[in-house]
Amino acid sequence: MGIQAKCSFRLFLAPAAVMACLVLATLPAWGELPPVIPRETLFGNPVKTQAQISPNGKMLAYLAPDDKGVMNVWVRTLGQEDDKVVTTDTKRGIRGCWWQQDSEHLLYGQDFKGDENYHVYQTNLKTKNTRDLTPFQGVRAGLFSADPNFPDEIIVPLNIRDRRLNDMYRIDLKNGAVEMDTENPGDVSYFVVDNKFQVRAAQVTLPDGGKEIRVRDDVKSPWRTLQKWGPEEIGWIAGFTPDNTGVYLASSVDANAARLMEVDVATGKSKVVAEDKQYDVGWSLTHPKTHKLEAVTFVRQRTEWTVIDKSLQADFDALRKVRDGDFYVDSRDLADNTWIVRYVVDNAPVATYAYDRASKKATLLFSDRPALEKYKLAKMQPISLQARDGMTIYGYVTLPVGLEPRNLPMVLLVHGGPWLRDVWELNDEVQWLANRGYAVLQINFRGSEGYGKEYLNAGDREWGGKMHDDLIDGKNWAVRQSYADPKQVCIMGGSYGGYATLVGLTFTPDEFVCGVDSFGISNLVTFLRAIPPYWERELTAVYKRVVGDVETEQEFLKSRSPLFKADQIKAPLLIGQGANDPRVKQAESDQIVEAMRKNKKPVEYIVFPDEGHGFARPENRLKFYAAAEPFLAKYLGGRAEPPSEAEKVDDLRK
């Protein structure tokens, strides 16, 4: 959850030296694994990433480590090599930046040690002076809106007045003045700005978990309901039509999957713009200045584009020929002459190109992790399987290079959310595990997003129930395919995936030989009572319907909570936790560790004092994976690169 502009859109060791000091365990004797990929290469900072072209088309901004290894913002003249660092973050690192419309300043978001109270910062390229545009203690800035036709201001959601609610504030980018623009009436989840830079649409989460879309004709007119959806529907506001007479809505009403609809604001009449019967519509591409809708994505087995504006068909045809992989248009100049395009594949680093529309030619700017190019990486294969109740479940399997794909040790890697999904991409965790000799299975269990409302809603009230059954059915599928040794399977994941790991070891203790949990929920009751105030309005109703009512269904929630079955754990567990995590608080990990130790169960517990929900700092990522690697090797028989002095976690163990 970061900050994003409306107009834009997550010292190498020599392989021979690594091999000399490997801890080797009992992998299958047939075949031969490729050289070990150092953890630093996989989990350290990328060399360059997240390129953004300036509105005037002359400059390129990107993120890269400074001379102290901290991710900061760099700029260079497009086509030249005059790169210079322009920000001075000293610890946490900057994870996203956006151009101001004058092409002379950059904006970025940053929180403090993972507390998720993001501030918006502005950096002057000439002076390198940086100022906090939202200098309010304990306040969280949401996704800001920017528009090239209004270059001197942005509109930012801030919870200054009430920590539970976002009001909309207009910020003057010249003098830094912050002024209330639109007050939240008390039930709005988020507001949407039109193409005259006025707040004119809002999405509300209703008490039953449904949604209401409100609009107003202008800022002086009252709000009125445009559409109301039941809690079973998928939908959101995608933006306004160029003339502001309509809105684009993603909506599953009268369909299974969310379609992109154009709805007339005055009459409420709607028409379908793009749809797929099974897959929800994804990202949309609009012209940077006119706001004309041009293309949308559908994430099927891979990401695919549907071109709406046929004048761009030749561009998309040319981009498909540049290289293999799925591509994403990350930014464009205002003249729409140059696009910055990112290519993603499953077994190579991300490559970023500058695409010239006139010549239809793409020029490679950089690879984000060039050191990976010398290693042979594993392929990610889309799969489907039938769950025990007959439902078709989707996912991916990745098999290690060099080993015969039979009876391998396997890691069941569970995604977070749970309203997310695994996708076809280069996944650092997957490549790390495969390189160490493990098959990797990723299951998009029911309740995962992207596959339509029937698939999503099939996860309602199934945390620790059918959602977990899907994971076990996935494991059994891998065994039937002869990919996995049923006695050598570990479950691993973060956030919801951490909860699933704890469920796996408590509800099905004979299925796994070990578990690796990061930021996992152990007690649904305490988790639901600790929702951050800025999510209370939106998520309380959703959790009540989808997970359970913490006020009236505590026994049911406890029955789905690993903490109360901790005495059933047989397999060893490794837990990583951020001390400042506002979503899954440290108490969730503390209490399962306490219960396991009381029952004399094997558990390793590592707490990072400067992290929140996830490992933002590469130093912490490396430490956690350096601890997980020998843990997995001990119980699964893979290979492990010994930890360096910087990766040791003795002082972080609890």
Say which amino acid occupies 189.
Answer: S
Query: Which residue in 495, 518, 522, 589 is the catalytic one?
Result: 495
Sign of CA pseudo-dihedral 183, 212, 275, 415:
positive
Rounded-to-integer distance, Cα 584 and Cα 578, Å: 9
Beta strands in 448-499 (DSSP E): 484-494
468 is catalytic: no
Tokens standing for residue 377: 């990486």
Task: List the Cα angle 384/387/389 in 5-degree steps.
Answer: 145
Contacts of 79 (CB under 8 A, 6+ apart): none
Sign of torsion over alpha carbons 203, 205, 211, 216: negative
170: β partners:
155, 179
As a dihedral over the C-alpha atoms of residue 385, residue 494, residue 118, residue 102, rounded to 10 degrees, the angle is: -50
Neighbours of 465 (CB within 10 A): 16
The CB-side HSE value for 449 (13 A sphere, CA atoms) comes to 16
Half-sphere exposure of 313 (CA within 13 A, CB side): 4
Nearest alpha carbon to residue 527 among 540, 509, 508, 541 = 540
Backbone angle region of 103, left / alpha / beta, with phi > 0 → left and psi within -120 to 50 → alpha: left
Please list, in sequence order, all residues whose beta carbon lies within 8 angstroms of the beta carbon of residue 42, skipping any fewer than 6 positions away: 369, 372, 428, 431, 432, 625
Query: Of residues 89, 181, 194, 581, which has the active-site annotation?
Result: 581
CB neighbour list of residue 293: distance below 8 Å, 6 or more residues apart: 239, 241, 248, 273, 284, 285, 286, 308, 309
386: β partners: 392
Distance CA 626, CA 636 (A): 16
Q: Is 194 a catalytic residue?
A: no
Would you list the DSSP string of 91-121?
A: SS----EEE-TTSSEEEEEE-STT----EEE
Active site residue 581: yes
CA quadruple 231, 232, 238, 242: dihedral, nearest 10: -90
Would you name the residues annotated as active-site residues?
Answer: 495, 581, 613
